[in-house]
Structure 1
Amino acid sequence: MQLKPYVRSLAVAVSLAVMAGCSSGGGTQEGSMDGIAGGNGAGSGQVSGSGLGQGADQMAGARIPEVRTIYFAYDSDAIRPEFQSVLEAHAQFLRGNPDASVVLQGHTDERGTREYNLALGERRAGAVERFLSVQGVSPSQVEVVSYGEERPAARGGNEEAYAQNRRVVFAY
């Protein structure tokens, strides 16, 4: 039975290849915001690679809002006033396209425990979900996910990086 070591090695190699393929971050995030170096205004952040395909932008003649990231203050889930127009645009899109759905991805900076950050990311995404619900968006169109500190938009231990990581991303 010399074949057995080769089969085992092949199984390990295939498993590693599958795990490497599954470890992608789910798209890239580019963004800037008011008060952050290089920012060109509040709410200019966006996510590329939304996974929808070109036809999704043409649903019912409406386009998915360009700004798909909103930011939060330290240790807060309160929606900042400068992002209300962004949320209203997403609510309008979702109301006008009842077949569309969105995943609200809550994120935090690296400060705090893993458990606390997962809960804070969920509270942030939940605050956005409640805002959309009040605007008339069907709950069946919205899913909330928290990544806590696990998927930072910016690396570093300074306030600029922390501010970019305290966010909710609209993933259509």
Structure 2
Amino acid sequence: MKKGFLIGIIGIVMLYLGCERKVIVVPPTTTPSPQFEKALPSEKAKAPPGEETLQPVKYPGIEGEVWRTPLLKTIYFDFDKYDLRPDARKTLEENAKVLRENPTWKILIEGHCDERGSNEYNLALGERRARAAMEYLVQLGIDPSRLSIVSYGEERPVDPRHCEEAWAQNRRCEFVVVER
């Protein structure tokens, strides 16, 4: 009896330890090209329009500094979808304008999902959402070497509640500056 109980406990512990969550990081599809433009002395002193809005944040798994800015807006998705809604396209057009005004910024596009669905499914869906946002920014003229994507699936909810209102907030892509 004790052996059966002990084997059951060991099995449960092994199952628990085997349920590690994964994060998929997809590198940019092209290699960055160096920029050789020289700024005039008066231009060096003047910061680009978005620089003063950058707020440093710590990211596990990302070395170096990462910044958030209110200038790069979050986009949202419908349930189980990765196609861009009209409001998301408008927001991405505004984000593209900010990126054109700050040509040295490199952006990480984070794909997120709500808690419904398996972890693997949500990681894949988050990646498709981030890729859709990246492809639209490239269509708008943003150099793909400035963009990279990551999927966090359901791992980083903005709203931890279990209701439609929370799920709608968690189905999103966020934008962070990884190099400036």
Q: TM-score interval w.r.t. the shorter chain?
A: 0.5 to 0.7
**Residue 162 (1) aligns with residue 150 (2):** no
1:134 corresponds in structure 2 to: 139
Alpha-carbon separation, structure 1, partners of 2:72 and 2:170: 16
Alpha-carbon separation, structure 2, partners of 1:156 and 1:145: 23
Does the Cα contact within 8 Å between 2:50 and 2:71 map onto a contact in 1? no
Which has the bigger relative contact order, CA under 8 A and spacing at least 6? 2
Q: Between the two proteins, what is the percent identity of the paired residues? A: 47
Alpha-carbon separation, structure 2, partners of 1:70 and 1:142: 16
Which of 101, 124, 128 pairs up with 1:123?
128
Does the Cα contact within 8 Å between 1:108 and 1:149 map onto a contact in 2? yes
Q: What number of residue pairs does the alignment pair up?
A: 115
Does the Cα contact within 8 Å between 1:65 and 1:89 map onto a contact in 2? no
**Residue 153 (1) aligns with residue 143 (2):** no
Does the Cα contact within 8 Å between 2:110 and 2:175 map onto a contact in 1? yes
**Residue 97 (1) aligns with residue 85 (2):** no
State the TM-score, normalizing by the size of structure 2: 0.59
Alpha-carbon separation, structure 1, partners of 2:120 and 2:107: 24
2:88 corresponds in structure 1 to: 83
Report the Cα offset of residue 146 of structure 1: 0.3
AA partner of residue 124 (structure 1): R
Distance of aligned partners of 1:162 and 1:110 in 2 relative to their CA distance in 1, 3 Å threshold: same
2:49 corresponds in structure 1 to: 61
AA partner of residue 133 (structure 2): V
Report the Cα offset of residue 65 of structure 1: 5.7
Does the Cα contact within 8 Å between 1:59 and 1:97 map onto a contact in 2? no
Alignment RMSD: 1.7
Aligned partner of residue 106 in structure 1, secondary structure: strand
2:115 corresponds in structure 1 to: 110
Report the Cα offset of residue 157 of structure 1: 1.6
The structure with the largest alpha-carbon Rg is 2
Alpha-carbon separation, structure 2, partners of 1:68 and 1:139: 19
Per-residue CA deviation, residues 110-157 of structure 1 (Å, 9 max, x unaligned), is 111100000000000000000000001011111101000000111122
Alpha-carbon separation, structure 2, partners of 1:130 and 1:167: 16
| Structure (1/2) with the larger helix percentage | 1
AA partner of residue 164 (structure 2): E
Query: Where do 5+ consecutive residues of structure 1 fail to align?
Result: 1-57
Does the Cα contact within 8 Å between 1:68 and 1:171 map onto a contact in 2? no
Alpha-carbon separation, structure 2, partners of 1:163 and 1:61: 31
